[in-house]
Structure 1
C-alpha cells in the first residue's frame, strides 16, 4: 500500500518514522474517530486488552502477561510480550446490516509492575489507561455534541470502574451474578443531622432475582452462533460500589449449554432513555467485534511481528497497525459499492471477512500501479500475462 501511494524511499526511512519522528499517534487516532463517527449522534465505543507475544529482554515494555488463548477458568498461562489496551468505535456494516465492526482509535501499552520498575515508569492499571483514553475521546467528541456509550466486559465495567467513568458517558457491561445492589438514599428529613446517606436499602442481587417464579423465557440470538433459550429477570437500582449511578440490571439463566447465570447492566447518561432488556443484551454483544478485530490485526496484519525495540517504535508500530485495520474496514464499507469477493467460504459466513477486504484493497492498489506504470497495458499481451499471474498471488497473500 505504501508503494501504491507513490512513496519511493529507503526502508530505513519507514523505521525512523516510528522510532524518532515527531508526530502523535493520538492525533491520528482522533482524526480517524472523526471519520468513523461522522453523522452519528451517539457513538458506541468498545474497550478490551490483547496480548502480542514478543521476544527479547531489551524490547521496551515487554513483560509476563496472562495469555487468554491458553488459559481457562482452572488454569492460567503466561507469555512474554506486550499487552495493549485498545479503545475503538463500533460501527454497523453497510453491506450486512446488523453486523458490527470495532475500528480502533486509541491504544495504550500496559506495563506490569516489574516492567514499570525496569523502565522507570509509573505503574498504571489497565483500567486507568482505559479511563485516560476515554477522557481524551470525551473531550474531543464533546466539541461536536456527540454522546458516548462504552461497551466492555467485567474487567472494564465493574462497579468500582463505573464509579470513575464520567456521568456523561453511558455504559453497558457485565457484572458478577452476586453483585451488591441498593436503592437510592431516602431524602433527608428537615433538621436531620449527620452525614447524608449515599446508599439506600439493599436490593436482591441478580442471582436472587432469578429465584422468583413466573419469569419470562426468551429465545436470544445475539452472536453468529445458535440461538439460546434463557429465563430473564430485570430490575433497577444502584451498585454498592457505584452508588451515584442509576443502573438497569438484566439477569439471564441459560436453560441449556451449561453457561449458567449471567448478569448485564446499562448505566444510561442523564439525557438517555432507559433501554429494554433485549436492547441491553444486544448492545453488549457488539463488544465481541473487538475480539474479532484483535484476531484480524494479529493474523492478517502481523502487528505482533515488528523487529523494533526502542520506546517510541514499540509504542507506535502496533498501534499504527490497529489504526490501519480500521481504515481497511472503513474503505470497504464506504468506498466500495459491493462486497469484496469471497476468498474462502464456510458454513454460516455472512458478508466479507477481513481477508476478503484486504485482498480487494491490494488488488485495487495493484490496478492503480498498473494504470500509472503501464498506461497501454490492455494492448500489451506480455503485461496482461504478468497481471494475470500477479492477481492470484496477491489474493493468496491475504
Structure 2
C-alpha cells in the first residue's frame, strides 16, 4: 500500500467509513493510483503505477468498482462538506448544474446513446457522438492561490438514453428530471445555507424553476427574449366568485424592451467575465411573472445585458429570488464558464473517456469518481505549503501568470512520490551507498506510459 503524507491523511481517510476494511485497502490504492498514473485511468494502469504488477489477487481491485457494496452518494456528501469547509465556509453556496457527453463505444455499454456533441458542433455544423450522458452538480468557489473561481464536481449522475430505458422497460428521465434531484439532494445536505443554482438555457423551464423555488433554492438561468411575462395578479376583492387570477396585464417582450429608448440602462463592471478579466456592460432589470398555460406560475427578476462595444449579442437572465441585486445575478451567472473548464481539465489530466469498464455498476461509479477526483486533488493541494501550491510550471515558450489545475495535480503528485522515496530509502548508518535501481512504478511512468 502506498504511504500517505501526514497532511493528506485526514482528507483521504475521511472516505474510509464508506467501505469495509478489506475493500478500503483496495479503494485507497485506486484513489492514490488514479492521481499518480499518467494517461489512461484503467485499473491495470493503477496497479502498475503503484507497484502491484505481481499481485495475484488483482481482481479484488476491480471488484471495488463493479461489485463491492459502498454508497457513492454518501461519498458525495462527505466531499461536499469538506469542500464547503475549505472554500465556502460563509456566505451563499453557489452551485452549477450542467451535463456532458462521455464518448464511449461498445455493445455491452447499455446506457449509451447518440447525442449532439456540444464541443465539436456549432450553429451551422451538427456533429453526433455515441456515448454516455452525465449530469454533474459542482461547487463554484474561489480558490485563493489560483485567484479565480473553480468548478469543483460534487455529485454526478448517469442519464441513460431513451433507447436504453425502453430496452430495460423502465421510465426515461430527461435532464430536467435528474437536475432537480441533484439540486434538492444538496438542499437536504445543507439545510441552513443559502443555495444559489446556476444553469444554462436548458434549465430555463417553468417546472424546473418552480421546483427550485419550492425547495428554497435560488435559480439563475438564461431567459428567452420572447418569453411571456406578466404583471403580478391584482389583489382579489372580497366576495369575488371563481378561481383567483394568476397573472396581471401582459408586459412587453424583452426584445422590445431592448430596443425602446425608454429603457433605463446602468453601466457596471463585472470581474472575471468568462475568463477574460473585467468587462464593462450595461444592464436593465425589473420583476415580472412568467406564465404558460398548464404550467406553474413563477415570479422572477429579469436582467437584460448588452455590451456597449457590441462584442456579444444582447441576452437576458432570470433569477427566482426577486430581492437579489442585478449586479450580483450577473456576477454569479458568469461563473458558469468554469464548468466547461473543469470538464476539459478532467478529460485532459484525469483520464475521463479512457476507462474501459463495461458492467453497469462499474460504469455508474467510475466517471463520477474521476470527476470527484478533480475536487479531491484541489483539497489535497490546499493542504500543501503556500510555496508548493502556488508554484507555476512555466517554459521559455509559455508564460503562465497563475497556477491552474495541472499545477495543483503536479504538486500533489510530487508530495506523494516524495513520500514513497522517503519510505524506500535506506536509513542504516555505516553502509556503503547502494547502486541506484529505478523503481518499477517509476520505470512504467517514465518509460512505458503514454
The alignment's TM-score, normalised by the length of structure 1, stands at 0.87
Unaligned runs of 5+ in 2: 5-27, 30-51
After superposition, the Cα gap between the structure-2 partners of 1:381 and 1:185, relative to the gap in structure 1 and judged at 3 Å, is farther
Structure 2 residue 118 is matched with structure 1 residue 71: no
- Distance, in Å, in 1 between the alignment partners of 2:115 and 2:432 is 56
Select the residue among 342, 352, 356 that pairs with 1:307.
356
**Richer in helix (by share):** 2
Structure 1 counterpart of 2:208, from 129, 140, 161: 161
Change (3 A) 1:260 1:385: same
Alignment equivalent of 2:418, drawn from 367, 389, 394: 367
Distance (Å, rounded) in 2 between the aligned partners of 1:29 and 1:380: 50
Rate the CA distance shift 1:76–1:369 in 2: closer, same or farther, 3 A: same
1:12 aligned to which of 59, 67, 76 = 59
Q: Distance in 2 between matches of 1:114 and 1:287?
A: 30
Higher fraction of strand: 1
Shifted more, 161-170 versus 130-139: the winner is 161-170
Distance apart, 1:304 and its partner CA: 1.2
Offset of residue 47 of structure 1: 0.6
Q: 1: CA distance between counterparts of 2:374 and 2:239?
A: 61
For residues 165 and 191 of structure 1, the distance between their equivalents in structure 2, rounded to whole angstroms, comes to 34
Output one character per residue of 1:318-376: Cα deviation in whole Å (capped at 9) or x when no partner: 01001111110122234442334322468784421111111111111001111111154
The root-mean-square deviation of aligned C-alpha atoms, in Å, is: 3.0
- 2:106 aligned with 1:56: yes
| Residue 118 (structure 1) shift | 2.5
Match of 2:301 among 231, 244, 248: 248
Q: Please list every run of 5 or more consecutive structure 1 residues that lacks an aligned counterpart in the other structure.
A: none
Q: 1:44 to 1:377 in 2, by over 3 A?
A: farther
Q: Structure 1 residue 254: deviation in Å?
A: 2.7
SS in 2 for 1:208: helix
CA shift at 1:78, angstroms?
1.1
CA contact (8 A) 1:61 1:119 kept: no
Match of 1:108 among 154, 157, 173: 157
Q: Relative contact order: is structure 1 or structure 2 higher (C-alpha 8 Å, sep ≥ 6)?
A: 2
- Aligned counterpart for 1:295 among listed residues 326, 344, 355: 344
Q: CA deviation at 1:3?
A: 3.7
Tell me the residue number matched to 1:197. 245
Match of residue 90 from structure 2: 40
Normalising by structure 2, report the TM-score: 0.78
Q: Provide the aligned length of Structure 1 versus Structure 2.
A: 387
For residues 324-339 of structure 1, the aligned pairs below 5 Å read: 324-338=373-387, 339=389
SS at match of 1:197: coil
Q: In the TM superposition, what are the counterparts of 1:1-398 in structure 2 within 5 Å?
A: 3-5=2-4, 7=29, 10-38=57-85, 39-97=89-147, 99-142=148-191, 145-167=192-214, 168-213=216-261, 215-218=265-268, 220-221=270-271, 222-225=273-276, 228-241=279-292, 244-257=297-310, 259-268=312-321, 274-338=323-387, 339-344=389-394, 349-376=400-427
Q: Distance in 1 between matches of 2:151 and 2:211?
A: 24
